[in-house]
Structure 1
Amino acid sequence: MSEAPRKASFIYHGKQSISEDNVAASDTTAAIRKSLEQLVGQEPSDKKFELELRDFYSQIVRYINEKSKKQELVWEQVNSPKPETVLSYKNLSSPKSSDISEMLNKLVVLKLNGGLGTTMGCVGPKSAIEVRNGQTFLDLTVKQIEYLNSTYNVNVPLILMNSFNTDEDTAKIVKKYYNHNLTIYTFNQSRWPRINADSLLPIATTPEPVSGKWYPPGHGDLYKSLYNSGLIDKLTKLGKEYIFVSNIDNLGATVDHTLLKHMVDSGAEFVMEVTDKTKSDIKGGTIIDYNGTTRLLEIAQVPKLFIDDFKRVKKFKIFNTNNLWLKIDSIKTLVEEDKLDLELIINKKTTDSGERVIQLETAVGAAMKYFKGAHGVNVPRSRFLPVKSTSDLFLVTSDLYILQNGMLTMNPARTFNTAPVVKLGDHFKKVKDFQARFKSPPQILELDHLSVTGDVNFGANVTLTGTVIIVANHGAHIDIPRGAVLNDKVVSGDLRLLDH
């Protein structure tokens, strides 16, 4: 006789409750609770799944509560951060060579590895995309940490926070590092159901992890998921005290001895790396002073009326790189005391079938207001080198950067210490198309701006300098021949040249 599904009971432990006179909201939460109990009942032995849905239930109740009260950021209370809350990297002191090993032995590197490479036309984890000399994001990260461990005779472990989308593939990939000089740990962030935008009910009817119906709820989930994984206690027993967190696709996010020393000396529990904002960074989150509290502000939290104000470089001069330095024991304390009440980010989506859905997410940097001594450090732009598109990939594969020990540094032969602006059109959007259209990476040491639109192919050993604009109109095709030098050129029309 089969055992009846166990019925879960979801009890909301939030700091605010739905008012009893709000009957509609109460009915909605009751219906949501019933749906979640049915999902858990289908996986009665999966305690982790039940715990994740309990957390999800708390957040959706909170969302309904805030929505009913129309709680919104009070823009008049949003101010630039106080000078003492954002320090300058150039004013920090470097460690003595004799102290580096001791500090590194207290460090863990954690990479956010939950994203897929779908925006670049790839299948599987984004960390598996080849970005330089046939090496992937993960390959470069492993090389960086191996270099640290070998050079300083230390044991800096690598932790990968996966999602249900990337876990299986990542598990296969990390096997190739078995004999490498580092220890790799993995854990999964939570899996939450998407909710219908009108009914607020989960669109998932079974626990099966289908990406269209389930989602990883943003990197703010790191704290609870890391704690639930049991890794915090394991790391503490190994003598680890600090975690350096960054996105796997940020090739500038390497272990920095000066920042680690500052973390140790300052006694701060949380340090966020920020850098100067440019017009290409107008959507990046920023540190603000809000009603006397230092916190992170994301564009999704800004009232629509003030979006343009948020984007202005003059008012908000820095943005969050998502490179964070955290104290391990502080994470444990805050999770156990249930103090990490991170601001919700409401991410509205439309499914392939046309259904409007909502994803409730949080940002890892939003926790800064709960850590003692939390502050920002304005770091050089070189520490923010994300690869979000093939336009970014174009830069990191070129001679603009030199690769050494898994780290990319700007070529000293570059006259300016800034990267050129590159905009590649839809024909280059997917990695395989991008690779097919370049016989070899162009030389761009003196390039300021490049825009390419339409069906364009580049021969080998092409040099681009100044401002170059190439436009192949609809139905037209342009071949840039081998060895061509384009200096401040506009190329348009239909151009088919043969290599000689």
Structure 2
Amino acid sequence: CLYHQPIIFLSVILKLNRYKARKSLHWPLTKHHSCVFQVSRKDFEGFTNLFHRFLQVKGPSVEWVKIQRPPEDSIQPYDKIAARGLPDSVAACLNKLVVVKLNGGLGTSMGCKGPKSLISVRNENTFLDLTVQQIEHLNKTYNTDVPLVLMNSFNTDEDTKKILQKYTHHRVKIHTFNQSRYPRINKESLLPVSTHLSMNGQSAEGWYPPGHGDIYASFYNSGLLDQLIEQGKEYIFVSNIDNLGATVDLHILHHLVSQPNGKRCEFIMEVTDKTRADVKGGTLIQYDGKLRLLEIAQVPKDHVDEFKSVSKFKIFNTNNLWISLAAIKRLQEQKAMDLEIIVNPKTLDGGQNVIQLETAVGAAIKCFDNALGINVPRSRFLPVKTTSDLLLVMSNLYSLDAGSLTMSPKREFPTTPHVKLGSSFTKVQEYLIRFESIPDMLELDHLTVSGDVTFGKNVSLKGTVIIIANHGDRIDIPAGSMLENKIVSGNLRIMDH
């Protein structure tokens, strides 16, 4: 039976390698290759466990009829948390905290090579620069020692470590650990894919980092979790490094550390109100008496439209999480971290169809005691996934102070404009060439740009602006232009005389 082949394949390899060196084992990629690839034993064990679970899964991981709305007190409004004020000693709270940034992603979707965290997003500052500035400001202001931990992947580790040297004299201790490295699986045969190794023994095609749910095992296995607990740290604040709204919030931290021991909250998920742009975002539900994260990948096909409903599922997960270190250690040692498997289909460059088995960090909420959602302001969710997002954060909509972006008080509405840049702007380098300077967007509601369009200096955009250059046409918006509720199409070029 095809479904038993992978288990036999993996168990044979495991037996063959039991007598190898303790720190690593050598995994032949296929029986046709004499090449070997070093994989840590912990990675191997983690993958085989995930793979066995994958083979045992039958049907969707949730029964739709069992889904319930979360109890009212399980998702608290941020205003209620903030109304308690701050403690006399903010420093005592901060000294129990570790900031963890998920730093495994590459900037390929924006046309960049290397870690996404090294893309310049504001005043020549990268995501990583801004993160370091934020934590350094906290440490200087409150005379504390909040460390920064980066969870890298094998894709980002080397480049990130090189750049960390520039922060040697900053008042931030920076630690790193690596996500696991798992083999991609052939969709048809369910065997690890066959790849040609490069000269240094690395092969990006054959391997992948298994999603940010891997943080618990990798953090524990690295030894860093125990090290931080020994230093008196109690909580981690985890977020995506490309979410520029994910700064340390002292009110949420105070709420965590001030709970009585018997009711100590081990996990807080920041959620925020859904808009039509967020319909695919994971949401919180009550399921089997536990607060649980429901992702769109888990939803049966005939209920996807219901899941996307803004009226039924009003909030979504920002992936800003506050988690107890002691609880992570306990759950890892009890092997009680049960995360739903996300099957991510991919097509390799050669056309081969593969699957990646992944997990999500927020899915662990059901495993922790007294877990809580906090409905935070939208300002705490400011991800930069595309150049459309980049345009917003580079504009005068935001001011930069100590690494943190805040909405300009001159903006009359709390919401950000809806910006949709066309394919000519997808890559960061192309995007930068098309703007001589970033337009004034304080009074902008909606911007759509399509085709070969460039912007001169000091352009102002207000209301709804749609600029469409048809194929073969080009539109140059002249320097100093003010476009308010305008549709611009056709061909417009300003020639130098």
What is aligned with 1:195?
A: 185
- Please give the secondary structure, in 2, of the residue aligned with 1:145: helix
What is aligned with 1:131?
A: 121
C-alpha deviation, 1:352, in angstroms = 0.9
In 2, the alpha carbon distance for the partners of 1:398 and 1:499 equals 27
Q: Tell me whether 1:248 sits opposite 2:238 in the alignment.
A: no
Counting only pairs closer than 5 Å after superposition, residues 95-110 of structure 1 correspond to structure 2 as 95-96=85-86, 98-110=88-100
CA offsets 1:364-394 (integer angstroms, 9 cap, x no match): 0000111110010000000000000000000
Aligned residues: 476
- Please give the secondary structure, in 2, of the residue aligned with 1:373: coil
Which one of the candidate residues 447, 450, 464 is aligned to 1:450? 447
Counting only pairs closer than 5 Å after superposition, residues 58-207 of structure 1 correspond to structure 2 as 58-66=49-57, 69-92=58-81, 93-96=83-86, 98-204=88-194
What is aligned with 2:332?
A: 335
- Please give the secondary structure, in 1, of the residue aligned with 2:3: helix
C-alpha deviation, 1:44, in angstroms = 6.9
CA offsets 1:329-365 (integer angstroms, 9 cap, x no match): 1110100110001000010111111111010000000
In structure 2, the CA distance between the partners of 1:298 and 1:475, relative to structure 1 (3 Å rule), is same
C-alpha deviation, 1:42, in angstroms = 8.9
What is aligned with 1:217?
A: 210
Q: Which amino acid aligns with 1:479?
A: D
In 1, the alpha carbon distance for the partners of 2:477 and 2:322 equals 46
Would you say the 8 A contact 1:243–1:328 is kept in 2?
Answer: yes
In 2, the alpha carbon distance for the partners of 1:36 and 1:469 equals 59
- Please give the secondary structure, in 2, of the residue aligned with 1:25: coil
C-alpha deviation, 1:78, in angstroms = 1.6
In 1, the alpha carbon distance for the partners of 2:424 and 2:447 equals 15
In 1, the alpha carbon distance for the partners of 2:15 and 2:106 equals 29
In structure 2, the CA distance between the partners of 1:35 and 1:480, relative to structure 1 (3 Å rule), is farther
CA offsets 1:74-132 (integer angstroms, 9 cap, x no match): 11112222212111100113443632111001110000000000000000000000000
- Please give the secondary structure, in 2, of the residue aligned with 1:143: helix
In 2, the alpha carbon distance for the partners of 1:254 and 1:461 equals 31
CA offsets 1:429-457 (integer angstroms, 9 cap, x no match): 00000100000110000000000000000
Which one of the candidate residues 20, 27, 31 is aligned to 2:9? 31
C-alpha deviation, 1:65, in angstroms = 1.0
- Please give the secondary structure, in 1, of the residue aligned with 2:441: coil
Which one of the candidate residues 334, 345, 348 is aligned to 2:342? 345
Which stretch shifts more, 456-465 or 27-36? 27-36
Would you say the 8 A contact 1:40–1:49 is kept in 2?
Answer: no
In 2, the alpha carbon distance for the partners of 1:346 and 1:402 equals 40
* TM-score computed with the length of structure 1 as normaliser: 0.92
Counting only pairs closer than 5 Å after superposition, residues 378-393 of structure 1 correspond to structure 2 as 378-393=375-390
Would you say the 8 A contact 2:42–2:221 is kept in 1?
Answer: no
- Please give the secondary structure, in 2, of the residue aligned with 1:254: coil
Q: Which amino acid aligns with 2:236?
A: I
- Please give the secondary structure, in 1, of the residue aligned with 2:354: strand
In structure 2, the CA distance between the partners of 1:188 and 1:40, relative to structure 1 (3 Å rule), is farther
What is aligned with 1:229?
A: 222
In structure 2, the CA distance between the partners of 1:438 and 1:65, relative to structure 1 (3 Å rule), is same
C-alpha deviation, 1:205, in angstroms = 5.9
Q: Which amino acid aligns with 1:113?
A: N
What is aligned with 2:43?
A: 52
Which stretch shifts more, 204-213 or 47-56? 204-213
Which stretch shifts more, 379-388 or 31-40? 31-40
In structure 2, the CA distance between the partners of 1:231 and 1:356, relative to structure 1 (3 Å rule), is same
In structure 2, the CA distance between the partners of 1:265 and 1:351, relative to structure 1 (3 Å rule), is same
C-alpha deviation, 1:40, in angstroms = 8.6
In structure 2, the CA distance between the partners of 1:112 and 1:329, relative to structure 1 (3 Å rule), is same
- Please give the secondary structure, in 2, of the residue aligned with 1:489: strand
CA offsets 1:33-72 (integer angstroms, 9 cap, x no match): 3456678999874266122111111111111111xx3354
Counting only pairs closer than 5 Å after superposition, residues 462-473 of structure 1 correspond to structure 2 as 462-473=459-470
In structure 2, the CA distance between the partners of 1:475 and 1:84, relative to structure 1 (3 Å rule), is same
- Please give the secondary structure, in 1, of the residue aligned with 2:4: helix
Q: Which amino acid aligns with 2:107?
A: G
Which one of the candidate residues 396, 418, 423 is aligned to 2:420? 423
In structure 2, the CA distance between the partners of 1:44 and 1:108, relative to structure 1 (3 Å rule), is closer
In 2, the alpha carbon distance for the partners of 1:96 and 1:58 equals 44
In 2, the alpha carbon distance for the partners of 1:330 and 1:100 equals 23
Q: Tell me whether 1:399 sits opposite 2:392 in the alignment.
A: no
Which one of the candidate residues 284, 288, 306 is aligned to 1:287? 284
Would you say the 8 A contact 2:87–2:254 is kept in 1?
Answer: no
In structure 2, the CA distance between the partners of 1:176 and 1:256, relative to structure 1 (3 Å rule), is same
What is aligned with 1:432?
A: 429
In 1, the alpha carbon distance for the partners of 2:2 and 2:147 equals 50
Q: Which amino acid aligns with 2:460?
A: T
C-alpha deviation, 1:270, in angstroms = 0.3
Q: Which amino acid aligns with 2:62?
A: L
What is aligned with 1:262?
A: 255
What is aligned with 1:17?
A: none
In 1, the alpha carbon distance for the partners of 2:249 and 2:61 equals 38
Would you say the 8 A contact 1:481–1:498 is kept in 2?
Answer: no
In 2, the alpha carbon distance for the partners of 1:129 and 1:381 equals 23
In 1, the alpha carbon distance for the partners of 2:368 and 2:280 equals 25
Which stretch shifts more, 98-107 or 425-434? 98-107
Q: Tell me whether 1:373 sits opposite 2:373 in the alignment.
A: no
In 2, the alpha carbon distance for the partners of 1:97 and 1:70 equals 49
Q: Is there any run of 5+ residues in structure 1 with no aligned partner, and where?
A: 1-22
C-alpha deviation, 1:204, in angstroms = 4.6
In 2, the alpha carbon distance for the partners of 1:87 and 1:237 equals 31
In 2, the alpha carbon distance for the partners of 1:40 and 1:397 equals 53
